[in-house]
């Protein structure tokens, strides 16, 4: 006799309730091979757990999706169109607030397109889940891994340096076809954002500002991107885009923030010109750059001089704005700027 496992049913029961609300028990029987009694018992458990809502009569029950919803789909990347997958397989089954729906759709299409165009893999699995409080999206491909892709394209040495470049934005391995906005803005839309690739991971939490922290990587090949957005958030897509435009329009992406914690590991010091040049990589793409010293208690003279005197004078079109400096760091930056 087939045993119905609730966790497995929740992967497809939301879509099934939409498509087979009048004969859901029969559909579960047919799809799983379970008995009628087992199917009805499983549906009752799903109603009790808020995955389903039951209406109608005892003889003619009608099922619809509940407060908890999830759709999981796996796709072959060849000829996959991310907008079709969203409109056909995901959007009809969820009820997000309008502004959250817009952000989820934006992130969905950008992250799935990244898997199509950049991963070098053959397949992608997408999971979208709705809880009473959050929208949760997970996009996992079987490609080369986002950090390895960036390191290979930009001749970087490790995942942390790749994450430094990702955190600046406007980074792409296909500049002829992309502008490097998708992954960056998806991360800014989320309350929780995790990037996993080939055992390495970095995570961002909205309540911690723009800080990226190392995480515990998943032991799998390829990239997995997870994001969660609170359903009661006041954040909107237009607001987030506007934060990275000097004029606030959200049309141009001409300002960014560099997190110096990503340049070195714990206990290491920003002490060399090579580190400063790594920070300055691609900054001429922007008009305004905030240099965030959060967590950095001290820096060496060579680092400060290379970034705030040598680079700044060579690229006067870029407005470098240091933030969150300790008093000693602020004094050093002021000294090199005045030299």
- Both tokens of residue 302? 């060579």
pLDDT, residue 208, reads 84
Q: Mean pLDDT check: name the lowest of 69-78, 115-124, 177-186, 268-277.
A: 177-186
pLDDT, residue 295, reads 85
pLDDT, residue 265, reads 72
Residue 178, pLDDT above cutoff 80:
no
Q: Over range 277-304, report the average pLDDT.
A: 95
Residue 155, pLDDT above cutoff 60:
yes
Please count the helices (runs of H) and the strands (runs of E) in the chain: 14, 12
Q: What is the pLDDT of residues 200-212, one digit of tens each?
A: 999 999 988 778 9
Q: pTM higher than 0.85, yes or no?
A: yes
List own/partner pairs for 81-88 with CB under 8 A and 24 or more apart.
82/108, 82/109, 82/112, 82/113, 82/116, 83/109, 85/112, 85/126, 86/112
From the centroid of its chain, how far is CA 14?
A: 24
Q: What is the pLDDT of residues 25-60, one digit of tens each?
A: 999 999 999 999 999 999 999 999 999 999 999 899
pLDDT, residue 3, reads 73
Q: How confident is the model at residue 174 (pLDDT cuts 50, 70, 90)?
A: low
């Amino acid at each position: 006799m087939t045993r119905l496992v609730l966790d497995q049913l929740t992967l497809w029961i939301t879509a099934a309730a939409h498509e087979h609300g009048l004969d859901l028990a029969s559909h579960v029987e047919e799809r799983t091979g379970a008995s009628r009694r087992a199917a009805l018992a499983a549906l009752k458990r799903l109603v009790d757990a808020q995955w389903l809502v039951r209406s109608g009569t005892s003889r003619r029950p009608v099922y619809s999706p509940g407060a908890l919803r999830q759709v999981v789909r796996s796709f072959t990347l060849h000829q996959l169109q991310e907008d079709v997958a969203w409109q056909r397989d995901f959007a009809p089954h969820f009820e997000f607030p309008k502004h959250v729906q817009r952000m989820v759709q934006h992130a969905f299409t950008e992250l799935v397109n990244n898997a199509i165009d950049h991963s070098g893999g053959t397949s992608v699995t997408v999971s979208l889940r709705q809880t009473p409080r959050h929208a949760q999206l997970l996009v996992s491909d079987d490609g080369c891994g986002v950090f390895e892709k960036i390191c290979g394209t930009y001749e970087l040495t490790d995942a942390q340096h790749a994450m430094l470049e990702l955190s600046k934005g406007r980074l792409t391995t296909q500049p002829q076809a992309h502008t490097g906005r998708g992954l960056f803005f998806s991360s800014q839309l989320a309350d929780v954002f995790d990037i996993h690739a080939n055992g390495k991971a970095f995570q961002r939490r909205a309540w911690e500002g723009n800080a990226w922290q190392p995480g515990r990587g998943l032991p799998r090949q390829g990239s997995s991107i997870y994001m969660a957005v609170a359903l009661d958030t006041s954040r909107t897509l237009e607001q987030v885009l506007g934060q990275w435009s000097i004029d606030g329009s959200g049309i141009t992406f001409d300002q960014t923030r560099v997190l110096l914690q990503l340049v070195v590991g714990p206990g290491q010091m920003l002490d060399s010109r090579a580190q400063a040049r790594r920070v300055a990589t691609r900054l001429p793409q922007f008009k305004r750059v905030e240099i965030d010293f959060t967590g950095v208690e001290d820096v060496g003279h060579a680092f400060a001089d290379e970034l705030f005197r040598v680079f700044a004078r060579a690229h006067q079109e870029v407005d470098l704005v240091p933030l969150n400096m300790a008093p000693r760091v602020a004094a050093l930056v002021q000294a090199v700027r005045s030299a």
